[in-house]
Each structure stands twice: as structure tokens, then as C-alpha cells.
Amino acid sequence: MIQLPTIDSISDVALAGRLQQRIDRLTKPIGSLGRIEALALQIGLVQRSEHPRLSAPQMLVFAADHGLAAQGVSAYPSDVTWQMVENFLAGGAAISVLAEQHSLALHVVDAGVRHRFEPRPRLIVRKIGDGTADSSLGPAMTDEQCERSIEAGREIVAALPGNVVLLGEMGIGNTSAAALLLARLTGHDIAVCAGRGTGLDDAGLQRKLDVLRRVLARHEAAVGPLAALVAFGGFEIAMMAGAALQAAALRRVIVVDGFISGAAVLVAAALTPAVLGYCVFAHRSNEAGHALLLAHLKAEPLLDLGLRLGEGSGAALAWPLVDSAWRLLDRMASFDSAGVSQRSDG
């Protein structure tokens, strides 16, 4: 039986009141930093501190292959998964450039890529299998593989320094797995959950939908979050769910990238709803189901820039906003300390 960590609710009315008071005394009109103020409050609650401080942010990109890709659900061949992992490690991918820009420690996790990588300093090999099985023919993974994936995600996060984890992923076929999880765990029709992924045309999207309907029908009985993970995959999604649960248990801030990492959080929240208090949703992507997923989680993302790349790129782009939130709380002067007059009507 899978071991899930204990996650405290971040709710603390007294601390929230003290944090809000600190925010309201900073030299700015009340509420004038909008969402950034709400972020500062959340970070304080996550850290149980009136003086929160984010440090050593860790960008984790979980990569794995999907057996369902054989059914033609992606515009790209499965080889792109391992090729992009090489690109991440060589510094040529979007996430490599963004991680360098923002001094994010980048690790790529081989959660189950159909490829043998040479050992590399930034590569963490926790391969559960050579890609998942084809979920149109049977379960994507075994119960034991699902447990090992979640456990690996937990262990990876537990071994990292810092108090922020940013979640990203790579895996040809994984928008299909995410759409299947969304449809099953929320009850939305698959037609509104699945989109063009990295770039399917109309015919490709229709083919993808036909395949996904068959997969859902085949796994009718897989209704709980773990059963759905086992049925639909993938290894990287299960590992991200474990990573999110562990990060929350350690009271770290979790910056969630896009649709697929969002699906991992959907699973994690179905297991332990308190994980959501630790999550910052980076952006609303162009992928069809993402807005539905965010709405289901009552999540308001920071950015809306038409991104649909994955890799953690949206999380990295949003990171400076999260980083600003605690810095403003930490370093701005108060009206008193700066000798600035208060409102004339207040």
C-alpha cells in the first residue's frame, strides 16, 4: 500500500491577519500590488512565517515515454522525448535558457524514457520502465510501478535543498495522458479535455479524440486518482504527483507549469487536497483542457501568454513574480519607517 506524507493545511487565520497587516503597512496604497500581495500572503502561510524567504529554487523536469504514442496521438515521434532530454542537458532548450536566466537549479529526471542516457551531473535516473504500456490495450502501468513512481518523486524532492520546487515535464504523448486524467477525475467530456498538444492538425486531433474515447471506455472502472494513474499513465505524471506531495509535506512552495504538471497536481489533490495551498499556478496555456483543469482546482494562474511548450518553461517564466512577492514583503519600507503620509481620507 502506498505511503502518502502528511500535509498540513496552510490555513492560519491569526498568521494571515498579521501578514495582511504587514502588507498593508508597506509604502503603497492598500491592495495596489494586486496578485503579488496575495502571493506574498500565501508564501508566508506556506512557511508559517511573517518573514518568509524563498531560497535555492529547484526546477525539476520529469521525462518519460508513453505507449499510447504508438496510436498516433502526437505530432512528434517518441524519439523526441530522449532527444529533448539531451537538449535540456546540453543547454539548448527553452527551459535551459530560462533556468540559466533566473538561476534556477535544473535537474532532468528520467522517469521512464525509452532510451539509455549516459550519466550526467544534472540528470537523475529513476527509470520506472521503458515508457508506459499502450493504455488503449491495457493499463499504462502496474500498481507497483505507480507506487514506485510516486515514491521516487517524493525521494527526489526530499533530497533537494531550498524551499521552492518548480515542476515541468517532457514526454511525447503526455497531453493525452493528462487529458484522460482530467476527464476521468472531473467528469468533463474528453472532447473538451483534449487539445492539439504540441501541434496536431484537425484530422490529427480527431484521431486523438477517437483513441482517447476508446481508452476511457476500456478503463471504465479506473475511477480513483491512483487507479486512473495506473490506467492512463504516465510515469512522469505520477512522479510529479509524488514530488508535489513531498514538497507540500516539507512546506515548500510548488510552482506548477502547465497542463501536464497541472494534471499531476490534480491527482495529488485528489489524494490529499491540502497540497493545493502550496501550489502557485504559473500560467494558463493554450492547451484546451488547461483552463478547465485550473477552474476545477479553483486556481488563478499568474500568466496568460498563449504558452504550450511544457518543459517547465511557464513555471520558469512566472518564477520572477513569485520571487518578487516575498522580496517586496521583506524589503519595502512601511509608511512609518519611510515617513510617508497616510491617506487623507483614512
Q: Minimum Å distance from CB 280 to a second copy?
A: 13
Stretch that binds a second copy, among 52-60, 127-135, 196-204, 214-222 (CB under 8 A): 196-204
Calculate the CA dihedral of residues 177, 181, 182, 183 and round it to 10 degrees: 100
Catalytic residue at 155?
no
Long-range pairs for 158-162: beta carbons < 8 A, 24 or more residues apart: 158/246, 158/250, 160/58, 160/60, 160/105, 160/107, 161/56, 161/58, 162/55, 162/56, 162/57, 162/58, 162/105, 162/252
Contact region with a second copy (CB under 8 A), list: 47-55, 134-142, 209-217, 334-342:
334-342
Nearest by Cα to 84 from 195, 172, 200, 165: 172
Residue 324 touching a second copy (CB under 8 A)? yes
Shortest reach from residue 207's CB to a second copy, in Å? 11
Nearer to a second copy, 223 or 333 (CB): 333
79 touches a second copy by CB under 8 A: yes
Taking every pair of C-alpha atoms in the chain, what is the biggest distance, in angstroms?
70
Q: Please tell me whether residue 323 binds a second copy under the rule CB under 8 A.
A: yes
Least distance to a second copy from the beta carbon of 33, Å? 6
Distance between CA 13 and CA 11 in Å, rounded? 6
Angle at 275 between CA 239 and CA 192, to 5 degrees: 70
Provide, rounded to whole angstroms, the least separation between the CB of residue 218 and a second copy. Answer: 25
Residues 253-292 that bind a second copy (CB under 8 A): 286
Backbone phi and psi for residue 228, each to the nearest 5 degrees, phi listed first: -65, -40
Site residues (vs a second copy, CB under 8 A): 26-36, 74-77, 79-80, 83-84, 86-87, 90-94, 96-98, 100-102, 198-201, 204, 286, 302-309, 313, 317, 320-321, 323-324, 327-328, 331-333, 337-346
Catalytic residue positions, numbered: 311
